[in-house]
Amino acid sequence: MTVVRTPLVVGNWKMNGSFEANRLLLESLLGLLAQKRLPEVGVCPPFPYLPQVGALLAETPVGWGAQTVSEHRVGAYTGQVSASMLKDLGCRYVIVGHSERRQFCGETDETVASQALTTLDSGLMPIVCVGESAEEEAAGKTLAIIDRQLAPVLLALAGVADEGASVVVAYEPVWAIGTGKTPTPEGVQAVHAHIRQALLQAGLVQTRILYGGSVKASNAETLFALPDVDGGLIGGAALNAVEFSTICTAAANRLV
């Protein structure tokens, strides 16, 4: 059976933006994407801008989501935001387990698994980030780190995600995020193929795998041509309408 996975490009704005900057960015982006053949496209702004972004993107082909979520569904968790709240705001995606959250906020593999499960239970699409540090890559531990990070997620989602169509995995080597460095195409494909095998063994045959880490207009076409790369999770380039639209166009080439 041939599995068709629609390419996906999601922009992670991180802690950037203002009401005016967001408006200008999205108006420019929508103009550049108009009348073009598109993959599935989304953006993930900081929490305070979700209502504005949702209003600007309503009735457009671009979806929106959040950069993190609480592992808890409701309760006395000051400062946290639940998946059901994000659902109320019209979100489609939630990034979970980004390396910056793991590094600066102490999120563990088990926390990330819980976040993915509550996201999925709320009818949203978790984008589960995995990736190794420079030290781990240099020590040849990349695949072992990926396996460790994925294991609790796959366990949590066992029997819950219908063949994985509503789950996304993003491979983001930590040493490539925001550095301008990227692995070789062969290196990217090798890790994605390894992740694909783990997903297939878990019955998640439709799960898309994105690449993230210094993706830009100049390398997107090469990266997205790799057989197990289904799109990208884009950081800095997502804040530039021309760059991001070019990346989206490159992903559209995977459409059948």
Known catalytic residues are 98, 172
Q: C-alpha 235: how far from its chain's center?
A: 10
* 3-state secondary structure at position 120: helix
Answer whether 247's CB lies under 8 Å from 236's CB: no
- 115 bridge partner residues: none
Q: Where are the alpha helices (DSSP H) in 158-235?
A: 185-201, 217-224
157 membership: H or E segment, kind and range: helix 142-157
- CA 19 to each of CA 8, 79, 144: distance values in angstroms, whole numbers, following the listed order: 26, 22, 42
Nearest Cα to Cα of residue 97 among 146, 135, 142: 146
